[in-house]
Every structure is written in structure tokens, then in C-alpha cells.
Structure 1
Amino acid sequence: MDKIILNELMFYGYHGLFPEEKKLGQRFTVDLELYCDLKTAGESDQMEDSIDYGAVYQVAKNVVEGEAKNLIEAVAEEVANKMFQTFKHLEAIKVKVDKPGPPIPGYYQSAAVEIERERHQHG
């Protein structure tokens, strides 16, 4: 299936288990792969036959910079759900949410989750 790939969308959010994370917040990075049929858009050269990248960014921003969640798993799930609600051409999605420098013992560049969802799983 065709896909639209958006890499390293950056947002500032307040997700985490610890009170200081919810108070201070931090940067989050999101990678998206949106699976859809792009043949019609490729032939018509019309935006309504594809998915608007700017609108995708705004949906992700509203989630990541919105209500604080304990887990980045929940952030990724909400991003996927909102994308299906917003974009009728979207058939499947891969969402990666990366949290640089998580406050857990040890030295980490980041901790991330990646989920894959299909439209039929979301009604």
C-alpha cells in the first residue's frame, strides 16, 4: 500500500508518570506513516485526493500538546484514533512517539513506542 511518511514532528508536552514531568514538560518527537491509496492523487494532482500534511501535523500537535497522559503508549493510541477520525482516505497508520532523556535509572538517548493500527480496528 502507498504511504505518506512524516518524520520527527516535534512538540512540547507534559506526559509521564512523575509529577515533575507533568509540571515541567519536555519535547516529544513523533514519526508517522499514513497508509492510503495515492494513485488517484498522483493522477489528479488534487489535494482532496490525498491527506494534507499540515492538517496531519495539527492533529498530532493537538494530541501531544494536549491533555497530559501517564504513558507514551496512550499518546500514540490517541494520535492513531484522531487520525482515523479526521482523514477518510487513511487505511492504516504507524505511529512512533519518542521521549528523549526519560527520567529512569541509567543512560538513555530516548525511550519510544511504535504502534500500527488499521481502520477496521476503529469502526
Structure 2
Amino acid sequence: MTRDDTIALTGITAIGYHGVFEFEKRDGQPFTVDAVLHADLGPAAASDELSKTANYGEVAEDIAAMIRGDSFDLIETLAVRIAEKILAGYAMVNAVEVTVHKPKAPIQVPFGDVSINVFRSRNDQGAT
């Protein structure tokens, strides 16, 4: 039996250089990422072994590195690349939901947040 358990990481924040404007790529700004990893956590719980689950500390480091890494025009691209990296790097993860927040987006009206949410599963592999 395969279960759809989840590991949720919220509020992973780093300075990134994403955006369509030159000043965004030059100056950077904070981006925050939430990720929900879908996996069967039964084997990890039964064995009490870290090797049977996704090490959420490593996942968080991977996400922060992606935020700080390559510059993208769109946060949609960043969200999809993070999802793809998690699926590629953690075999026990069957699907992942990634939300990228851009709280300081260059919008000329008062706003609370801008976010992009993507869901990718192993069935989606190869389809960006």
C-alpha cells in the first residue's frame, strides 16, 4: 500500500536575483519558498532511519541554493526548477508542491504578497 504522507517546509528565505527588470537582477530581493513533499513515510517510521525519508534539512539547503543560484526572469521558472530538483534528488518523493513568494515585487499599488504555486509529480517527469 502506498500512502500519500507529506513533509512541509515553510518560509525558506534567501536573497535571489529573479525578475524582468535590470534592478531586480542587480540588487536582488528576498524570496520565500514553501514546499510540500508527498511520499510514503511508512518505511521511515517503521525503521526510524533517516535514509528512508527525505532529509528536510538537505531539501531546505537545496531550495535556498536555488533561490540564490541562477537568475530567472520569472518566478514561475524558479518554482518549476525547484520542484524538478526535489523530484530528481529524492527518490522517495512522489510529488511536490512548491510556492514561491515575492513579497517585494515591483508593483505600484499596495499588496501583501505575490506567489506562484506549482505541483509536479513523478508522472509529470519530462513535461515542464
* TMscore range, shorter length: over 0.9
Partner Cα separation in structure 2 for residue 101 and residue 109 of structure 1: 9
State the match for 1:29 in structure 2.
32
Of residues 94, 98, 106 in structure 2, which corresponds to 1:91? Answer: 94
Extract unaligned runs of 5+ from structure 2.
none
TM-score, with length taken from structure 1: 0.96
Alignment of 1:78 with 2:81, yes or no, is yes
State the match for 2:61 in structure 1.
58
Runs of 4+ residues deviating >6 angstroms: none
State the match for 1:112 in structure 2.
115
Extract unaligned runs of 5+ from structure 1.
none
State the match for 1:122 in structure 2.
125
Q: Which amino acid aligns with 2:45?
A: G
Alignment of 1:69 with 2:56, yes or no, is no
Q: Which amino acid aligns with 1:60?
A: I
> Aligned pair count?
123
CA-CA distance at 1:120 after TM superposition? 1.5
Secondary structure of the residue aligned to 1:117 is: strand
TM-score, with length taken from structure 2: 0.93
Listed one character per residue, the Cα deviations across residues 60-79 of structure 1 (whole Å, up to 9, x for unaligned) are 12211101100100000000
Q: Which amino acid aligns with 2:83?
A: A
The percentage of counterpart residues that share the same residue type is: 34
